Amino acid sequence: MIADVKLFTCRYAFPPTASLGRRTHLGAGADLESDTLLYAYSRGFFPWYDEAPILWCSPPRRMILRAGELHTSRSLRRTLKKSTRLLKKNTAFPEVIRLCASLRSETWLTPEMIDAYTRLFELGWAESWETYEANKLVGGLYGVVINRVAFLESTFHLAPNAGKEAFVYMYNDLVASGVELFDFQVFSEIADSFGAYEISRLDYETSLQKAIR
Pick the CATH number of 63-212 from 3.30.365.10, 3.90.550.10, 3.90.920.20, 3.40.630.70: 3.40.630.70
Average pLDDT, integer, range 13-27: 74
> Domain extents for the chain?
5-59, 63-212
What's residue 152's pLDDT?
A: 96
The pLDDT tens digits of the residues spanning 32-64 come to 999 999 999 999 999 988 777 888 999 999 999
Average pLDDT, integer, range 63-89: 96
The pLDDT tens digits of the residues spanning 141-192 come to 999 999 999 999 999 999 999 999 999 999 999 999 999 999 999 999 999 9
Up-side HSE of residue 102: CA atoms within 13 Å toward CB? 7
Rounded Cα distance, 41 and 151, in Å: 8
Rounded mean pLDDT of the chain?
92
What CATH topology corresponds to 5-59?
Alpha-Beta Plaits (3.30.70)
**More confident position, 107 or 82:** 82
What's residue 162's pLDDT?
A: 96
Residues 6+ apart with CB under 8 A from 21: 60
Up-side HSE of residue 74: CA atoms within 13 Å toward CB? 0
What's residue 53's pLDDT?
A: 85
Rounded Cα distance, 123 and 127, in Å: 10
What's this model's pTM, rounded to 2 decimal places? 0.93
DSSP H helices in the chain: 34-42, 74-82, 93-102, 111-123, 162-176, 189-193, 201-212
What's residue 13's pLDDT?
A: 82
CB 94 within 8 A of CB 142: no
What's residue 107's pLDDT?
A: 65
List the one residue out of 57, 67, 65 whose CA is nearest residue 24: 57
The pLDDT tens digits of the residues spanning 83-124 come to 999 999 999 999 999 999 987 756 678 899 999 999 999 999
Has residue 1 got a pLDDT over 70? no
